[in-house]
Amino acid sequence: MADIVMPQLGESVTEGTITRWFKSVGEEVTEDEPLFEVSTDKVDTEVPAPSSGVLLEILVEEGDVVEVGELLARMDREGVTAAPVAEAAPQPEPQPEPAPQPEPTPEPGPAQAPVAEPIPAPTPAPAPAGATTGLLLSPLVRKLIDENGLDPASITGTGVGGRITRGDVLSVIDGRGGQVPPAATAAAAVAPDAAPAAKVAAPAVQPMTHGSGDRVEGLNRIRKVTGDAMLYSKSTSPHVISVVRVDYSAIERARLPRRAAFKAETGSSLTYLPFITRAVVDALREFPHMNASVGDGEVVLHNDVHMAVAVDLNYEGLLAPVIREAHAMRLRAIADEIHDLADRARNRRLGPDELSGGTFTISNSGAYGSFMVAPIINQPQVAILSTDGVSRTPVAVSDDFGDEAIAIHPVGNLTLSWDHRAFDGAYAAAFMSRVRQIVETRDWDSEF
């Protein structure tokens, strides 16, 4: 007999929601295959089975919120093929529904006057801090409710089983003119020390109509969280973009001869991304205000470079897992780490701690041939770089004697979105110039 308990998914995670069981009672389980899925405020994670056997009992249903260490299920490690099915716990007797109250009948009179519409009940007054005690809420949601003096009973939960989510709380706060930052998908947001903006009445919006062939899809959790984070970022940071045009000929001379061998050895393609990441990491060491976070009236300059790399989840959302201590890695190690994180992100194998603590972010749109993408800053960082498409482009070149000619080189844009609170345009331009110089002049063969 083996107990299956809620694992510790990250240092800051104390509970999670069981969103799916991949096995039923009586089914055989193979070690390391997905057993259940847990949803936290940071990420959805598939938890593998710790050993092989037969699932004897499931003690926590889908949609239940459980704390770290809580017993979830029991499994027979001996692998008995005909495991007894545990009897379900008796369900409490349903409470009888109250009898419907008759509608009040107006007094008869010579001429019946129209009955007035009922006056809506006033919004309940905010509850004092601590009103969430005893409720099944995530630590972040509980904190938001308590800090803003909200009444949990007045918040309609849209999460699994009607659970109140962070988006539900933020909608209520926004409705009364409050300004509270949602946590970013890849890093915890830091609220600025600023007065809330004046409330502007939203224009009237016509209700959306659907045609006979339309299909309605609800926004998934990642899209909702990402949307909240991006809205907060745009309202917090004064975004500015800087773009440089980069010649990738030096990278091509090192990349092309090694592509086939690299693919055969690692199973992944040798793209431009690890080269660009390596160049950015080196430039960040020379421009420390780029490798920074904005706090409460201050800028924190980070000593280490923890590089977040945006990963597309098959067009269903976006995550930005973090390469820890990227400043200590050479090109091959960076390439391996990018491939590993991207693969585990798409297969829901990332832990929450792997999505936090980034100090700079790279978004790789270039694989789709984009000309220029202006990304939104991943709060509380001060900058994010977008790689754009590389194409064969005519460029002017000169030889050692100063004679010029037209040549065809691989050329593409790099676009930086940056926070004007942290530095000015000259600093951003100098940083981008240094990145371009590293890309165009480094001896990339030495990296291998």
Could you list the active site residues?
Answer: 420, 424
Q: For residue 360, is it left (φ>0), alpha (ψ between -120 and 50) or beta?
A: beta
Q: Report the C-alpha dihedral over residues 364, 368, 370, 375, rounded to 10 degrees.
A: -30
Interatomic CA distance for residues 419 and 212, integer angstroms: 45
Q: For residue 348, is it left (φ>0), alpha (ψ between -120 and 50) or beta?
A: left
AA letter at 413: N
- Picking from 364, 375, 369, 416, the residue whose alpha carbon sits closest to that of residue 390 is 369
Instruction: Please name the residues in contact with 350: beta carbons below 8 A apart, sequence gap of 6 or more.
Output: 43, 45, 319, 321, 341, 344
Reduce the DSSP state of residue 94 to 3 states and report it.
Answer: coil
* Residue whose entry in the numeric block shows the structure tokens 């519409």: 117
Residue 69, phi then psi, degrees to nearest 5: 90, -10
Burial 388-403 (b: 16+ CB within 10 A, else e): bbbeeeeeeeeeeeee
- Picking from 445, 14, 432, 88, the residue whose alpha carbon sits closest to that of residue 254 is 445
